[in-house]
A and B are shown apart, each in its own frame.
Chain A
Amino acid sequence: MASADFWNMWMPSQPAISIVIWVLIFMLVLYIARIPAHKAILTITHGLRQALRLMAKSIMLVESRLKQRNREVLLAHGRDATERGIEREFQRVEALVNRDLSGYPSLQRDLKEQITRIDEDYVQSGEVPPQPPEWLRAIEAVAEIPSNGSPVVAKILNDIHSTLKKSLDKDVSAYRKANKERHALLKKMMPFWRSLTKILTNVEKKITGLENRSNVIDEQMKHYEEILAKTDYAERMLSSSSLTQFFISGLVLFIAIIGGYVNFQLVALPMSEMVGAGSYLGSIKSSDVAALFIIALEVSLGLFLMEALGVTRLFPVISTLDDKKLKIILWVSLSFLFVFASIESSLAYMRDMLAADKEALTQMLSGVEAAEPEFRWIPSVGQMVMGFILPFALTFAAIPLESFIHSSRTVLGLVLVWFLNSLSFIIRQLASLIKGFGQLIVNIYDLFIFLPLRIEQVFKNKKDSSEMDAVQDRPFLNN
């Protein structure tokens, strides 16, 4: 049966009426199936909602665990970094003590000597008041004898007076001489005082330096204690610091990559002279692979060098080695780097020669008279110097690399937490939407069968009103 015939089966001559009949039939069927259909719709949407809510809950649980893990990693990393910082401060203090305070015994000796000299001079300069002569009292007694106008007595008294004056003049002169000597001694003390002041100022400076260092250590210890206490403040500080480090180290790494690219350009062409320009590894030229290999080796050597110097701690195996072995690694890395830098420098020179040869060929083929540039040696030397310096410069890429690796763990963790959070939010919103959607479908369902529902309503109202009438007709029931 064709589709059109099926729809027109009730009144083939009147398709509109046929369709109306079909609609009424569907309406009736839907009306009959209304309650189970509503239940089915609501059960499905409820089930979906529950499943989504469960999913959101699981995601939140994962997010919470991830947050916890991030926190632990962040605090552990922060603890490690602070320990390193404190260790470094202590090393500085040790150096300070070794450098400045090791001379303390000699300083103390100097001070003692200075003080002894000053003391001796001081003792020597001590003012001893001149003792009055022993016979002064006898003279005093004689001087009190009344003269009674006797010229003999007057003469004796005059003699005594002149003798006394002479004696006093002599004493004053001696006193002045002694004072002069004392002043000379005090003057001699001045350089010792100055020297003493200088020594004491130096000591003060050194002590202040130590005090500053101890203040820094105090600050770091405070920070360390906060990390150990796992406070929110410590977490926030470390998180912010990680983000800053991530962006800064990323920027420096980007610069290092550009440096690596320049290095690659210096080496790639001359490498084709060694490994051949026509051989390929896959779709990459062998000479390019060889150049990349050399650069990768240089970077690796740089990493080992920085590790041996104790600047980075990317390889725990290296950092836990004893000092002697570290020194060996340091010198081996440095030697190899030097060799590679020399090789690269010569390759850079060869590159310049090859470029010049290629240029000459191109000029010859294009019929242009080849001319030797006047300052041809400048780029040659420049390339050689660059070839020598770049491997050493790339060594320092280890520092931002370490920061980047460590901070990217935190940043990735934060991004993942954010993503899970957003996902959970979206799923919860979806669950709410599904709940509303179920209700909407139920309403649409009812809208489609509005006619039978309306009829049902009318019947219901009629029934209700007749029941009311019946109740009113039996007043005794109201009492």
Chain B
Amino acid sequence: MKYFAGIVAVLVITLTACSDPKPQTKAVYMLLDTSGTYTKQLDKAKNIIKYLLGNLNSGDSFAVARIDSESFSEKDLIAKITFDMRPSKANAEKRTFNEIVEKFTKEVKGSAYTDITGGMLQAIEYLNETGAGYKYILIFSDLKEEVKKGHVRDFPITLTDIKVTALNVTKLQSDNVDPREYMKRVEEWTQRVEDGGGTWRVINDLERLEGVLD
């Protein structure tokens, strides 16, 4: 009996020592820019979503929201889900999710303004609620933020333990006139995310999405 108790104690200590308190699940929040001409890029976003659906597992969370004039709101959420623990059910949920996104991209209308900060605040709230161990915000946008007059968005945001990735950051007409504008825009977002405690990176080549959830 003594030996048995000893073995159990050793096993418990070993498992406790080995265990990582950080959950192994992932949570991804993808923001889709629907302002002006950028809506034409949404087909690319669809492929990214499909890629993510193929790579997320049971227990992971995924949400897709649009960036419009006032993005700090639940109404901009297109679809959100925490995949079922059973892989078979999770696969069915992925199919449904994909259908919702397909429907959205067909019916979407462009917005007048681009409230990226609002969308990010909404994303942070969602990601923290999931309690996932690894959190990602994917911004599918040209990163040009235009907020309505009177809306305050110029303040620091907390992005602790969140990896932010800007996807398909297209160059605007004005960027061609002065490329420094593009660089400045990217630099500003990099600074803002890193100051908030997050990590930042840009992926413009959508053929290289392998590391997006690293």
Contact = CB atoms under 8 A, between A and B. Distances in A.
Size range of the chain B interface in the assembly? 20 to 34
A354 interface: yes
Nearest to B54: A365
Contacts of A272: 58, 85-87
Contacts of B50: 365-366
A277 B98 contact: no
Contacts of B90: 277
A273 B90 CA distance: 10
A212 interface: no
A362 B53 CA distance: 9
Interface stretch (B16-24, B113-121, B203-211): B16-24
B58 to A, nearest CB: 4
Contacts of A280: 23-24
A354 B20 CA distance: 29
Given A278-B58, A278-B60, A365-B53, A273 B86 contact: yes
A281 interface: yes
A367 to B, nearest CB: 8
A285 B23 CA distance: 11
Contacts of A358: 87, 91
A269 B57 CA distance: 12
A280 B23 CA distance: 8
B39 interface: no
Interface string B134-164: 0000000000000000000000000000000
A126 interface: no
Contacts of B199: none
Interface string B23-62: 1110000000000000000000000001101100111100
A365 B94 CA distance: 9
B18 A278 contact: no
Nearest to A355: B87
Nearest to B14: A282
Contacts of B54: 361-362, 365-366
A83 interface: no
A276 B85 contact: yes
Contacts of B1: none
B91 A278 contact: no
Contacts of A273: 86-88
B185 interface: no
A285 to B, nearest CB: 8
Nearest to A277: B58
B15 interface: yes
A62 to B, nearest CB: 29
A365 to B, nearest CB: 4
Contacts of A361: 53-54, 91, 94-95
B56 to A, nearest CB: 11
Nearest to A278: B59
A276 B83 CA distance: 11
A354 B90 CA distance: 11
Interface in A259-290: 269, 272-273, 276-283, 285
Nearest to B24: A280
Interface in A341-385: 353-354, 357-358, 361-362, 364-366
B19 A278 contact: no
A282 B57 contact: no
B18 A283 contact: yes
Given A277-B58, A365-B50, A282 B15 contact: yes
Interface string B77-98: 0000001011110110011001
Interface in A83-136: none
Given A358-B91, A365-B54, A283 B85 contact: no
B78 to A, nearest CB: 17
B184 to A, nearest CB: 37
A357 B94 CA distance: 12
Interface centre among B50, B51, B83 (most CB of A within 10 A): B50
Interface centre among B51, B59, B98 (most CB of A within 10 A): B59
A353 B87 CA distance: 11
Nearest to A357: B91
Contacts of B91: 357-358, 361
Contact of B19 (A281, A362, A364): A281
Nearest to A275: B85
Interface centre among B15, B58, B87 (most CB of A within 10 A): B87
Contact of A276 (B15, B59, B60): B59
Given A276-B58, A277-B57, A282 B20 contact: yes
A361 to B, nearest CB: 5
Contacts of A277: 57-59, 85-87, 90
Interface of A: 269, 272-273, 276-283, 285, 353-354, 357-358, 361-362, 364-366
> Which 8 pairs across A and B sit closest by C-beta, in order of nearness?
A278-B59, A276-B85, A277-B58, A282-B19, A365-B50, A282-B18, A280-B24, A278-B58
21 contacts: A272-B86, A272-B87, A273-B87, A273-B88, A276-B58, A276-B85, A277-B90, A278-B57, A278-B85, A280-B23, A280-B24, A354-B88, A357-B91, A361-B53, A361-B95, A364-B95, A365-B50, A365-B51, A365-B53, A365-B54, A365-B94
Given A278-B59, A361-B95, A365-B98, 18 more contacts: A269-B87, A276-B59, A277-B57, A277-B59, A277-B86, A278-B24, A278-B25, A279-B85, A281-B19, A282-B19, A285-B24, A353-B88, A357-B87, A357-B88, A361-B53, A361-B91, A361-B94, A366-B50
